[in-house]
Amino acid sequence: MKPLTTEEIRAVIARGKLRDTIFKALGVFCLALALVVIVALITDMVMKGSERFTLDFFLNFASRHANKAGILSAWVGSLLVMLVTGLAAVPLGIAAGLYLEEYAKRNWLTEIIEINITNLAAVPSIVYGLLALGIFVYQFGFGQSILSAGLTLALLILPIIIVSTREAIRAIPAMIREGSMAVGATRWQTCRYHIIPYAMPGILTGVIIGLARAIGETAPIITIGALTFIAFLPPAPFMGEPAAGLFDWVMAPFTVMPIQIFNWTSRPDPAFEINAAAAGFVLMAMVLSMNGVAIYLRYKLRKNIKW
Amino acid sequence: MSANNASDLPQVSDRLAYNAMRNWKERLIEAVLFGAAAISVLTTLGIVYVLVSESFHFFSNVSIVDFLTDTQWTPLFDDAHFGIMVLVSGTLVSSFVALAVAIPMGTVIAIYLSEFANSKVREVAKPILELLGGIPTIVFGYFALLVVTPLLQMVFPELPGFSLLSAGLVMGIMIVPYIASLSEDAMRAVPMSLREGAYAMGSTRLYTAIHVVVPAALSGLAASYILGISRAVGETMILAVAAGMQPNLTWNPMEPAATITSYIVQVALGDLPHGSIGYQTIFAAGLTLLLITLLFNILGQWLRAKYRENY
């Protein structure tokens, strides 16, 4: 092969640099496209929905008249379902993560559980809805209630919480455990007084991300039979005639924010588009602020922890 | 139980009793924690049990050959046909459109972030991508139907109000963050010495990225693509809102069609009596969906094992 002259080498280098620059531009373009989609989505919803951002919108029930319809039953429903989801998923997720990191022996049983959790994360959410329809709604007889919905979403986000718990626990150095065990603490005492408190911020990040995912989920809730048109609230404890019990609300029929939006987008009357835009913005604001808190928490943690 | 001076120290027998109780309590706690971990296995068993048992009733009424070969899906009509191909075609077409957007875009973003961008850009870009991944799918559905479809109709005037194309494009945007962030992790795990070797030989950044880093990270990239495929196949709300819900055996993305997931939503919205054939079809459709995603997961694990490189 003939050696290249200086000009040819310069040309080769220039070509390489040009390709680098072009690719860099392509990368920035793709990232910008992602940003444009977020901005377009939010601007569109704000512009279309702006006229509906009144107090009435939050305090009115769904209605046949687009300009009177509100999201009261939807956001109350979403909050109550999240409450059940959180109460079920958080203790279960932390316990499962703790077991796998601190207790589990390396054997086939542990391996099955671990493979299982990875695979569950890839199961489509609507399949969880079918599971819940078969088991919670009909087998256990919970009906089409807040309880069924909350438990379904809890199962759905359990893998997220377990994985983040495990990661948080794994980041704690072994000397913390050794120190605790050396002064005679049992395994549980070590977990209770050292591991869980130190891992808490990381666990919290996972919990928030999981709940943010759950609040936006629609498919599994539709499958278990959430109603799309509800003009009443679940019974508040000790209110009404006859007085409702403390936990009567968990068995009540319900609707949630995403279903309200789905209902409005699927109506032919374009007047409901405005409502869908406004409700979509409210839902986005809820989800994004939760995600924002989680990102901030993680960012702050990374800076503060020094073992 | 606390002993501050020698005279208060518990007797040996007391201490043994205390230890025994302590051990017992420890075992109990371990059992409870194990129970929590076992819930995940129970969930899987529950899914398989529900889908298989309901599908079993379904297949005792409908032959499995009809299910796989019939070209019509009209389970709720008097002249009922149960050809799952119709729903599978919608699912595959929409997934294909989504992946045609998500895989190139996600890969370019990942290469850019891991090989070109400085740490400041990365610190800003990653949370933005995460926000994109966190947007509820119903909001994406709204966006596809009421923003993207009208935009596309300016370019293709014959595009109907519901189409697999606009749903697929938006679904692609939704999947980009998953592919970008997993691929980036995989490429960052490639040891620096490989890059330095390439740079020392006079390679440009792009050449190093494509010929050294990407092949070394191939197993991770494959895993991220497989995850993207699973997401696309299982995505529900974008399709239910923007792709229409009419069963339609088509390979043309410009047409409206139902997917497996949007069919399930459609049936669940009506009230079919528990135990009717229409009610059982959603479990048969769900089982098909689960088998498809399972297939891709197995493929993914096989790919990961095959192309894994150790350094």
Give yes or no for B246 touching A (CB within 8 A). no
The tokens for B1 are: 């139980």
The tokens for A60 are: 């009115």
Mean pLDDT score, B235-258: 86
Complex ipTM over 0.90: no
Rounded to 5 degrees, φ, ψ at B82 are -125, 65
Mean pLDDT score, A270-286: 88
Task: Name which of A237, A249, A247, A278 is nearest A261 in CA terms.
Answer: A278
Whether the pLDDT of residue B20 is over 50: the answer is: yes
Q: Which of A119, A159, A218 sits opposite B297 (nearest CB)?
A: A119
Task: Name which of B74, B137, B87, B76 is nearest B259 in CA terms.
Answer: B87
Higher pLDDT, residue B207 or A242 = B207
pLDDT band of B280, cuts 50, 70, 90: confident
Whether the pLDDT of residue B254 is over 60: the answer is: yes
Residue B1 has a pLDDT of 45
Distance, in angstroms, between B71 CA and closest chain A CA? 24
Q: Which of A64-78, A81-95, B104-118 has the lowest mean pLDDT?
A: A64-78
Q: Is the peptide bond before A220 cis (omega within 30 degrees of 0)?
A: no
Closest residue of chain B to A98, computed from CA coordinates: B33
Q: Do A92 and B105 touch (CB under 8 A)?
A: no
Residue B79 has a pLDDT of 75
Give yes or no for B37 touching A (CB within 8 A). yes
H-only helix segments in chain B: 12-61, 64-69, 84-111, 119-134, 137-143, 149-155, 164-188, 192-200, 205-208, 214-216, 218-234, 237-242, 260-269, 277-307
Residues of chain B with Cβ-Cβ distance to A277 below 8 Å are 142, 146
pLDDT band of B2, cuts 50, 70, 90: very low
Q: Which of A95, A120, A123 sits opposite B33 (nearest CB)?
A: A95
Q: Do B141 and A265 touch (CB under 8 A)?
A: yes
Residue B3 has a pLDDT of 45
Distance, in angstroms, between B34 CA and closest chain A CA? 6
Give yes or no for B175 touching A (CB within 8 A). no
Residue B22 has a pLDDT of 81
Report the alpha-carbon distance of residue B15 to residue A306 in Å, rounded.
Answer: 38
- B208-240 pLDDT, tens digit each: 999 999 998 988 898 899 889 989 999 999 998
Q: Do B289 and A24 touch (CB under 8 A)?
A: no
Q: To 10 degrees, the CA torsion angle through A111, A116, A117, A119? A: 130
Give yes or no for B124 touching A (CB within 8 A). no
Mean pLDDT score, A242-250: 71
- A19-60 pLDDT, tens digit each: 999 999 999 999 999 889 989 999 998 888 888 777 777 777
Q: Which of B112, B142, B261 sits opposite A265 (nearest CB)?
A: B142
Q: Do A130 and B230 touch (CB under 8 A)?
A: no
Report the alpha-carbon distance of residue B61 to residue B59 in Å, rounded.
Answer: 5
Q: Which of A17, A20, A41 sits opposite B143 (nearest CB)?
A: A41
**Contact (Cβ atoms closer than 8 angstroms) between residue B222 and residue B307:** yes
Residues of chain A with Cβ-Cβ distance to B271 below 8 Å are 225
Residue B11 has a pLDDT of 66
- B76-91 pLDDT, tens digit each: 777 777 888 889 999 9
Q: Do B134 and A17 touch (CB under 8 A)?
A: no
Find all residues with CB under 8 Å of A165, minimum gap 6, and list them.
Answer: A93, A94, A96, A97, A98, A101, A199, A202, A203, A206
Residue A85 has a pLDDT of 95
pLDDT band of B12, cuts 50, 70, 90: low
Residue A5 has a pLDDT of 87
The tokens for B272 are: 């079919």
Closest residue of chain A to B122, computed from CA coordinates: A31
**Contact (Cβ atoms closer than 8 angstroms) between residue B207 and residue A16:** yes
pLDDT band of A252, cuts 50, 70, 90: confident
Q: Which of B33, B41, B138 sits opposite A262 (nearest CB)?
A: B138
pLDDT band of B100, cuts 50, 70, 90: very high
Q: Do A116 and B44 touch (CB under 8 A)?
A: yes
Q: Which of A30, A98, A258 sits opposite B136 (nearest CB)?
A: A258
Higher pLDDT, residue B134 or B108 = B108
Q: Give percent of chain B above pLDDT 90.
A: 42
Within 10 angstroms of residue B228's Cβ, the number of other Cβ atoms is 25
Q: Do A41 and B147 touch (CB under 8 A)?
A: yes
Average pLDDT along chain B: 86
- A159-216 pLDDT, tens digit each: 999 999 999 999 889 999 999 999 988 889 999 999 998 888 889 989 998 999 999 8
Whether the pLDDT of residue A230 is over 80: the answer is: no
- B53-74 pLDDT, tens digit each: 989 888 888 888 888 877 778 7
Residues of chain B with Cβ-Cβ distance to A116 below 8 Å are 40-41, 44
H-only helix segments in B235-276: 237-242, 260-269
Q: Do B269 and A222 touch (CB under 8 A)?
A: yes
